[in-house]
Chains A and B, each alone.
Chain A
Amino acid sequence: MMTKKRNSLIVVGAALALVLPFIVSNPAHQNYLILVLMFAQIGVAWNILGGYVGQVSLGHVAFFGIGAYTSTALLISVGLSPWIGMLIGGIVAAVFGVMIGWICFRFKGHYFTMATIAVAEIIQVLFTNWEGVGGAVGLYVPMDRQGWGVMVFNSKLPYYYIALGLLCVTLLGNWAIEKSFLGYYFRAIKDEPEAARSLGVSLTAYKLVAIAISSFFTAMGGSFYAQKELFIDPGSVLVTSLSVKMSLVTILGGVGSLFGPLVGSTLLTGIEEATRQFFGGSGMGIDLIIYASIIIIVAIYYPAGVLGWIKHLLRRDAKTEGGA
């Protein structure tokens, strides 16, 4: 019955998502919707490694940046369609992810997280000083041609549907993982690594599988971002704060759950927009203080996120009803 309810919720949600941009016609609001979908998508991608396998990476922005730079550089230099560039970026990021994972998985727990930050910092320094990809100045996506072939549009609407499509693809990927033996192995590794090993699960091998899939989807999000913003530089696609945001939407919504990142992204992006409107531009520090307070409160009091909290409430209701 739970799954039936969930399935009808998904159908309603999908239908709503399809017509939403016609209800919300203000471009600024549409932009907000696109951001929600985009951060949900990379949150879902982050969740594969951070949520299911429990390897908390705060260097995922490196994969995001690699995706953005690969597709954009290929578009500029050889005119390759970003649709293909997106896939190539994903593959490059996955290969890079495996290399990085091979080193960083030697660390356990917190130190793994620290090591991933270190990797992202290296990448940021390299790209900032690499003149071939614009260095500190960054890259502009050429706007002389427009349309679906080059993924450049004048209106927000196509971007909305691309973001929605990407999110669906990533969700489907996660769902397939959850249902396959990989999902079981990932959770086993997170719960009891030593027991998983004794059942023939090689920790490093499956962590590498997870980081490859996770970085592939994260990089696709990066390519999309580049096409949406039409401009990338190390300060926008390689900053640690972006790593924090993709993990935070997941934690806020519910770690290790399929739709957690979508819930988290809706809330967090909303809070950010509200803060910005209320206090004006950033730089005053208030936005950071609010952001940090959310992180700390969720981490201490609601580690299962909003979805976990709702589930807990539902279960409690069911129990009291059953008892009465």
Chain B
Amino acid sequence: MNRLLVVDNLSKRFGGIIANEDISFHLEAGQIVGLIGPNGAGKTTLFNCIAGFYPPSEGTIRFMGNDITGMGSPMMAHLGIARTFQIVRSFGSMTVLENVMVGAMLRNKSVSVARERANDELEFCGLSARANVAASNLTVAEQRRLEVARALATEPHLLLLDETMAGLTPSEVQEAVRLVKDIQKRGIACLIVEHVMEGIMPIADHMIVLDYGRKIAEGTPAQISRDPVVLAAYLGE
């Protein structure tokens, strides 16, 4: 077994509020793992801890065998963890291509090399036609793809996707699902926080369910969808 990411007994508190309590799970290389749960379950907090957005209060996070607990996000990017943002944060003064070039510059500071890499990723994400458009002029679905392309340009081993499918039309969701599967084919593992169940259930190898800041279940999508604890949590919402 090739454990890429191992989270052990992770807790996160803000003042007196407990957002995550004693969460453990792991993710294997090339795996797609879905992180789900009702609103306020602590998904985003867990996601942000793993992404290096803020340090966990307790517990450890290991990536490819290294302890990365409390490291900042620039360091995480260097190690091979890339992320997207729930509320898209594209660089507004740049074109679509330039946005992705910033990502590619992590591995190679040459502008022309970065441009080539960026063009490849735009092609991969189906945005080639929009390469020279200002990033702020994209549709929501396109902006989400741009974030994915930008993150992929950093050549990650693990991609953290934060609600990439929220607010998309059913056909756009299908396209997003296809994109995630293509990413997996490149050997990149994905940890996906998702609200859109039809987006995550068909592609996840493994699911983790949070409620009230704790892990209440994990397993294959089929197991999860039959789990009475999970059903109760969602119905109680």
Contacts and interface: CB of A to CB of B under 8 A. Distances in A.
Given A195-B90, A200-B74, A203-B74, 8 more contacts: A181-B114, A187-B94, A191-B91, A191-B93, A194-B73, A194-B89, A197-B74, A198-B77
Contacts of B151: 198-199
A201 interface: yes
A192 interface: yes
Interface string A221-258: 00000000000000000000000000000000000100
Contacts of B85: 194-195, 198
Nearest to B92: A191
A191 B99 CA distance: 11
A199 B82 CA distance: 7
B77 A199 contact: yes
A192 B91 contact: yes
Interface stretch (B57-65, B105-113, B191-199): B105-113
A184 B101 contact: yes
Interface in B62-80: 72-74, 76-78
Q: How large is the interface on A (under 10, 10 to 19, 20 to 34, 35 or more residues)?
A: 20 to 34
A201 B74 CA distance: 6
B215 interface: no
A184 B73 contact: no
B83 A188 contact: no
13 contacts: A181-B105, A181-B114, A184-B98, A184-B111, A185-B105, A188-B94, A188-B102, A192-B92, A197-B73, A197-B74, A199-B103, A200-B106, A202-B72
Interface string A180-217: 11001101101110111111111100000000000000
A179 interface: yes
Interface of A: 179-181, 184-185, 187-188, 190-192, 194-203, 256
A195 B92 CA distance: 11
B102 A190 contact: no
Contacts of B93: 187, 190-191, 256
Contacts of A196: 91, 102
B154 interface: yes
A293 to B, nearest CB: 28
B173 interface: no
A202 B52 CA distance: 13
Contacts of A179: 111
Nearest to B109: A181
Contacts of B92: 191-192
Contacts of B51: 198
Contact of A199 (B72, B111, B154): B154
B46 to A, nearest CB: 16
A211 B94 CA distance: 22
A197 B91 CA distance: 12
B77 A181 contact: no
Majority SS at the chain A contact face: helix
A9 B68 CA distance: 53
Nearest to B135: A191
A190 B89 CA distance: 12
Contact of A200 (B77, B89, B94): B77
A197 B103 CA distance: 10
Given A187-B93, A188-B91, A191-B93, A201 B102 contact: yes
A195 B111 contact: no
A55 to B, nearest CB: 15
Nearest to A191: B91
B150 interface: yes
Contacts of B111: 179-181, 184
Contacts of A201: 74, 102
A184 B105 contact: yes
Interface string B106-128: 10011100100000000000000
Given A179-B111, A181-B109, A187-B94, A199 B102 contact: yes
A254 B94 CA distance: 17
A293 B78 CA distance: 48
Contact of B89 (A184, A187, A195): A195
Contacts of A199: 77, 82, 102-103, 105-106, 150-151, 154
A256 B93 CA distance: 11
B91, B101, B103, B106: which has the most chain A beta carbons within 10 Å? B91
A185 B99 CA distance: 10
Contacts of B53: 194
